[in-house]
C-alpha cells in the first residue's frame, strides 16, 4: 500500500501536474533501445534561469517533482542484470543522464534527489537541463 | 489480471560472454491469461551466438522455460505469444534447448535469462512483453 504522502502527492499532481516520459536509454552509437514510462510530474523553470553551453546557446534549468507511483506500477525499468550487493543501486531510481520528455522536448536529467520517508521513496526532486 | 500492461524483461548491451544471466523478474502478474513476447536483437560487431529464454514461475522458486529466442550475427526482431486460456493435454515439462515455446502454462511472474558466446560489441538485446 502506498504511503499517504505518495497519495497526497498523486492527488496534487493529478490536479496541477502534467504527463512526462521518463526514459532510460540502453546502448550507445547506432544500436540503442529506450525504456519509457509515462509519469505524472510538476515541472517548473528554476527562476527562469539558463545554463550557457556556448555563446548565444543556452539550455533551461527545470525543476521537476516526480511521483514514484507510475514507476512502481510499470515496474520500470524492468528486468535488470544482477548487481554486486556491495554496490547495489536501485535501478528504479531515475539517475543522471536519464531523459525526461516534457511537452515533446527532450531534457537530460542532471541530478536526482529521492525523498525517502520511513524507508519508502515518496517523491523524486529532479533537476533537468535542456 | 492484476496488472496488465507492457513490461521490459531485459534490455542490455551484450559484450562479454554470459552464461544464463538471470534478469530481475516482473512480478504481480496474477491472472495473466496470455503474454506476447518481443525479442529484439540489434547486432553490432563480433560475437557468435546469443539467446534469451523467458521463464515463468508458479511458486516463486522453480522457474520454467516458456519461450526461447536465438540470435547470431544479424539484427532481427522475433515475437511469440503464450496463452493459458485453453485446456492442454498433460505433457512433461522439458526445458527449451533451442528456439521454441512451451505453450499453455503461465504463472504470476516472468523473467529472462540471457546467454551469449563470443564477445559482441555495440550490440543490444531487449525482451519486452505485453501481459493480459
Label residue B131 exposed, middle or buried (CB < 10 Å: 0-12, 13-18, 19+): buried
Tally the C-alpha atoms within 13 A of residue A116's C-alpha that lie toward its C-beta.
8
| pLDDT tens by residue, A6-51 | 999 999 999 999 999 999 999 988 899 999 999 999 999 877 677 7
Q: Is the pLDDT of residue B17 over 70?
A: yes
Alpha-carbon gap, residue A1 to A123, rounded angstroms: 15
Contact list in B for residue A81 (CB cut-off 8 A) is 12, 21, 23, 114
pLDDT of B1 reads 81
pLDDT tier at A130, thresholds 50, 70, 90: confident
Give residue-wise pLDDT tens across range B44-73.
Answer: 999 999 999 999 999 999 999 999 999 999
Does the distance separating the beta carbons of A26 and B11 come in below 8 Å?
Answer: yes
B53/B8 Cα distance (integer angstroms): 14
A85 inside 8 A of chain B by CB: no
What is the rounded end-to-end Cα distance, in angstroms, of chain B? Answer: 6
Q: Is the dihedral of CA B80, B83, B87, B90 positive or negative?
A: positive
B105: buried, middle or exposed (CB in 10 Å: 19+, 13-18, 0-12)? middle
Distance from CA of B3 to the nearest CA of A (A): 8
User: Would you mind telling me the total number of residues written for chain B in this entry?
Assistant: 132
Is A16 an interface residue toward B (CB < 8 Å)?
no
Q: Do the chains contact at A33 and B7, CB–CB below 8 Å?
A: no
Q: Residue B27 and residue A26: Cβ atoms within 8 Å?
A: no
**Touching check for B3 and chain A: CB below 8 Å?**
yes
Separation in Å, CA of A37 to nearest CA in chain B: 10
Say if the Cβ atoms of A35 and B8 lie within 8 Å.
Answer: yes
How many angstroms away from the CA of B27 is the closest CA of chain A?
A: 8
Residue range B86-107: average pLDDT? Answer: 93
Distance CA A5, CA A17 (A): 16
- A53: pLDDT strictly greater than 80: no
Beta strands in B24-62 (DSSP E): 34-42, 45-46, 49-57
Set of chain A residues whose Cβ sits within 8 Å of the Cβ of B43: 31
B47 touches chain A (CB under 8 A): no
pLDDT tens track for A86-121? 989 999 999 999 999 999 999 999 999 999 999 999
Q: Does A35 touch chain B (CB under 8 A)?
A: yes
Instruction: Note whether B42 contacts A73, CB cutoff 8 Å.
Output: no
Q: How far apart are CA A24 and CA A9, in angstroms?
A: 24
Under 8 Å CB pairs connecting chains A and B tally to 72
* Full DSSP string of B64-110: EEEEEEEE-SS-EEEEEEEE-SS----------SSSEE-TT---SEE
User: Average per-residue pLDDT in chain B?
Assistant: 96
Check pLDDT > 80 for residue A54: no
Amino acid at each position: 500500500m502506498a504511503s499517504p504522502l505518495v497519495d497526497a502527492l498523486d492527488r496534487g499532481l493529478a490536479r496541477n501536474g502534467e504527463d512526462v516520459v521518463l526514459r532510460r536509454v540502453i546502448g550507445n552509437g547506432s544500436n540503442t533501445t529506450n525504456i519509457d514510462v509515462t509519469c505524472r510530474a510538476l515541472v517548473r523553470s528554476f527562476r527562469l534561469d539558463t545554463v550557457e553551453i556556448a555563446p548565444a546557446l543556452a539550455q533551461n534549468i527545470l525543476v521537476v517533482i516526480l511521483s514514484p507511483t507510475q514507476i512502481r506500477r510499470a515496474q520500470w525499468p524492468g528486468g535488470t542484470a544482477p548487481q554486486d550487493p556491495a554496490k547495489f543501486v536501485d535501478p528504479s531510481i531515475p539517475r543522471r543522464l536519464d531523459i525526461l520528455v516534457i511537452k515533446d522536448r527532450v531534457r537530460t536529467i542532471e541530478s536526482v534527489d529521492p525523498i525517502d520517508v520511513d524507508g519508502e521513496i515518496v517523491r523524486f526532486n529532479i533537476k533537468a537541463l535542456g | 489480471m492484476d496488472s496488465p500492461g507492457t513490461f521490459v524483461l531485459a534490455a542490455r548491451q551484450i559484450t562479454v560472454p554470459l552464461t544464463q544471466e538471470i534478469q530481475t523478474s516482473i512480478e504481480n502478474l496474477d491472472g495473466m491469461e496470455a503474454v506476447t513476447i518481443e525479442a529484439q536483437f540489434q547486432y553490432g560487431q563480433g560475437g557468435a551466438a546469443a539467446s534469451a529464454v523467458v521463464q515463468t514461475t508458479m511458486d516463486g522458486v522453480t522457474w520454467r522455460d516458456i519461450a526461447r529466442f536465438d540470435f547470431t550475427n544479424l539484427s532481427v526482431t522475433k515475437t511469440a505469444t503464450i496463452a493459458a486460456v485453453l485446456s492442454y493435454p498433460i505433457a512433461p515439462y522439458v526445458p527449451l534447448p533451442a528456439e521454441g515455446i512451451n505453450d499453455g502454462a503461465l504463472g504470476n511472474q516472468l523473467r529472462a535469462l540471457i546467454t551469449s558466446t563470443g564477445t559482441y560489441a555495440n550490440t543490444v538485446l531487449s525482451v519486452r512483453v505485453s501481459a493480459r
